[in-house]
Amino acid sequence: MKLSFSDPTHISIWIRGELKTREVKMSTMGNSTNIFWQESPVGKLERQKLLNQKGCVVWITGLSGSGKSTLACSLSRELHTRGKLSYILDGDNVRHGLNKDLGFKAEDRTENIRRVGEVAKLFADAGLICIASLISPYRKDRDACRAMLPDAFIEVFMNMPLALCEERDPKGLYKLARAGKIKGFTGIDDPYEPPLNCEN
Ligand SMILES: Nc1ncnc2c1ncn2[C@@H]1O[C@H](COP(=O)(O)OS(=O)(=O)O)[C@@H](OP(=O)(O)O)[C@H]1O
Ligand SMILES: Nc1ncnc2c1ncn2[C@@H]1O[C@H](COP(=O)(O)OP(=O)(O)O)[C@@H](O)[C@H]1O
C-alpha cells in the first residue's frame, strides 16, 4: 500500500509487513512520458513459493504446419498432469484479440512477436510456465525476446522441412500461397530464419 508521496523521488510502501522507502525514478518509455515504476508488495520469489514452480517462457518457433501448436498442447497437458501451471500463447489465438490489428508484413510480424514477448515476460514474472507458439520467423525478434528474459527463455525449433509442412497443409494455406492467393506466406514468398542458438 502506498503511504506517502511527499518527496517526488521517494515513496514509502509496506513490503511484507515492513515500511520501506524506495527511490522512484521518473522515466520516459517510447511515447509514455512522466511515468514511474510501481513496486508490488508481493515479490516474485513469494509467488514462486506459493506456486511451487519457477516462471519461464518456452518459445516454440517454426513453419506453419511444423507442429508448434501440437507440441504446445502436449507440453501444457503434461505440465498440468505434473501439477505445474502453464499457459499457451498461440499465434493464431493472440491474433484473435490483442494482435488483431496486425497483419503479416514484416513490421507487423515484428510487433506481433514483441507484444507476445512482453506478455510472456509478465506471465513468467507471475510464476507461470508460458508456452509461446508462433512462427516468429525473424531471428532478431526472437533474440529480442530472449534478451528480455535472461535465464528464463527456452527456444524450441520445430525443425521440419518445408516439403513436409506443405504436405500436411492442415489449413490449406500452402495451397492458397502456391496459387498466389495468399501473398507473403512464410516459407513460400516470405523468409523463415532458423535459430542459431535454440535449446533443443
Ligand atoms: N502470410 C502468412 N504467413 C504465415 N502464416 C499465416 C499467413 N497468413 C495467415 N497465416 C496463419 O497465421 C498463423 C501464424 O501466425 P503467427 O502470429 O504465428 O505468425 S508470425 O509469428 O507473426 O509470423 C499461421 O498459423 P500456424 O499454421 O499455426 O503457424 C497461419 O494459420
Ligand atoms: N509429431 C508429429 N507427427 C506427425 N504429425 C504431426 C506431428 N505434430 C503435428 N502434426 C500434425 O501436423 C499438422 C500441423 O500441426 P500444428 O501443430 O497445427 O502445426 P503449427 O502449429 O506449427 O501450424 C497437424 O495436422 C498435426 O496433427
pLDDT at 17 (0 to 100): 78
Nearest of 76, 103, 106, 74 to residue 91 by alpha carbon? 103
Q: The whole model's pTM is what? A: 0.91
pLDDT at 110 (0 to 100): 98
DSSP string, 147-159: HHSTT-EEEEE--
pLDDT at 6 (0 to 100): 44
Which residue, chain included where needed, has cell 506453419? 64
Examine the pLDDT at 73 and tell me if it is beyond 80.
Answer: yes
Instruction: Determine if ligand 1 sits within 6 Å of the CB of residue 134.
Output: yes
Nearest of 69, 59, 95 to residue 168 by alpha carbon? 69
Cα angle value 171/172/175 (rounded, 5°): 155
Does the CA dihedral 131-121-149-28 come out positive or negative? Answer: positive
Note whether 59 and 148 are within 8 A (CB). Answer: no
pLDDT at 3 (0 to 100): 41
5-54 confidence digits (pLDDT tens): 444 567 777 777 778 776 777 788 888 888 888 888 899 999 999 999 99
In testing the pocket of ligand 1, which one of 115, 131, 165, 173 has its CB within 8 Å of the most ligand atoms? Answer: 173
90-121 confidence digits (pLDDT tens): 999 999 999 999 999 999 999 999 999 999 99
Q: Ligand 2 mean position to 191 CA, how many Å?
A: 20
pLDDT at 9 (0 to 100): 67
Nearest of 42, 52, 54, 66 to residue 152 by alpha carbon? 54
Amino acid at 17: G
Which atom of ligand 2 lies closest to the CA of 158?
22
Strands 129-133 and 86-90: what pairing? parallel
DSSP H or E stretch at residue 32: strand 32-35
pLDDT at 2 (0 to 100): 43
